[in-house]
Amino acid sequence: MTRLLLHACCAPCSLEPVRLLEEEGFEPTICWTNPNIQPADEHDRRLEELRRWCAATGTPLIEAEEDTSCWERSVAPIGARQRERRCRACYALRLAEACRVAECEGFGAIATTLAVSPYQLFDTCNDVLERLARAHGLTPVIRDFRPWYPEATRRSRELGMYRQNYCGCRFSAAEAALDRARLRDERKAGR
Ligand code: SF4
């Protein structure tokens, strides 16, 4: 079995990647490092849900370092208008920390639960993971978990998990609120 460090953005997005990676013969340990999540009580709520699920299922969890001031310096100034650049920098900050931990703790492979969400920038995220993993001597395990997103949604609801409705940063909270308003308007207009 290959020990794999699985960067996790939240508990609901961990469900299917852990199951699928185990089916492939990996032995996943979850790694939490998400200094992008705002505000602080939202961050703590997502982490607490992940802790609960890991404890209940016996999935090992490493809580890595989180440098929120680095996120504010290196990601936030990119702002709302350049989403690809902003998310690339955000993925890089989180996955660099996960790769650092993986290398220090002797893992052979690394992956991320971000690959289950159709709302993430899949190719950008994989590109970042691939580069960072290689730089740390790790095997990047690039998988498209997106077809299992509906199943992750179903299972997380069934388990009564907390499910957030935006990615994490304040920009994504505003973007998601705008999207919901647009969809409401379209429904009202019968489009
Ligand atoms: S939308 Fe998500 S990935 Fe992109 S910068 Fe915000 S928190 Fe990071």
Which pLDDT score, from 0 to 100, does residue 91 have? 98
Question: Which pLDDT band, with edges at 50, 70 and 90, does 103 fall under?
Answer: very high
Q: pLDDT (tens digit, 9 = 90+) per residue, 127-172?
A: 999 999 999 999 999 999 999 999 999 999 999 999 999 999 999 9
Q: What residue has token string 């290959």?
A: 2
- Closest ligand 1 atom to the C-alpha of 120? 3
Cis check for the bond before 39: say yes or no (omega within 30 of 0): yes
Given a cut of 90, is residue 53 above it in pLDDT?
A: yes
Rounded mean pLDDT of 91-114?
A: 98
Rounded mean pLDDT of 87-104?
A: 98
Domain 2-188 bears CATH identifier 3.30.470.10: no
- Residue from 13, 81, 117, 167 to probe ligand 1 pocket by mutation (most atoms less than 8 Å from CB): 167
172 CA to centre of ligand 1 in angstroms? 6
Domain ranges of the chain: 2-188
**Residue with CA at minimum distance from ligand 1 atom 3:** 87
**Residue with CA at minimum distance from ligand 1 atom 1:** 172
- Residue from 42, 86, 129 to probe ligand 1 pocket by mutation (most atoms less than 8 Å from CB): 86
In whole angstroms, give the CA distance from residue 93 to residue 124: 13
166 CA to centre of ligand 1 in angstroms? 9
Given a cut of 90, is residue 178 above it in pLDDT?
A: yes
Question: Which pLDDT band, with edges at 50, 70 and 90, does 123 fall under?
Answer: very high
Write the secondary structure of 100-150 as one string of H (helix), E (strand) and C (coil).
Answer: HHHHHCCCCEEEEHHHHCCCCCHHHHHHHHHHHHHHCCCEECCCCCHHHHH
Rounded mean pLDDT of 83-97?
A: 98
93 CA to centre of ligand 1 in angstroms? 11
Residue 60: count of CB within 10 angstroms of its CB: 13
153 CA to centre of ligand 1 in angstroms? 20
**Residue with CA at minimum distance from ligand 1 atom 5:** 87
Given a cut of 80, is residue 191 above it in pLDDT?
A: no
Which pLDDT score, from 0 to 100, does residue 190 have? 85
Q: Which amino acids bring their CB within 6 angstroms of ligand 1?
A: 36, 75, 86-87, 90, 167-169, 171-172
Question: Which of 115, 109, 147 is CA-nearest to residue 28?
Answer: 109
Question: Which of 72, 71, 78, 76 is CA-nearest to residue 94?
Answer: 71
**Residue with CA at minimum distance from ligand 1 atom 6:** 169
> Cα-atom radius of gyration of the chain, to the nearest Å?
16
Question: Which pLDDT band, with edges at 50, 70 and 90, does 1 fall under?
Answer: confident
Which pLDDT score, from 0 to 100, does residue 187 have? 92
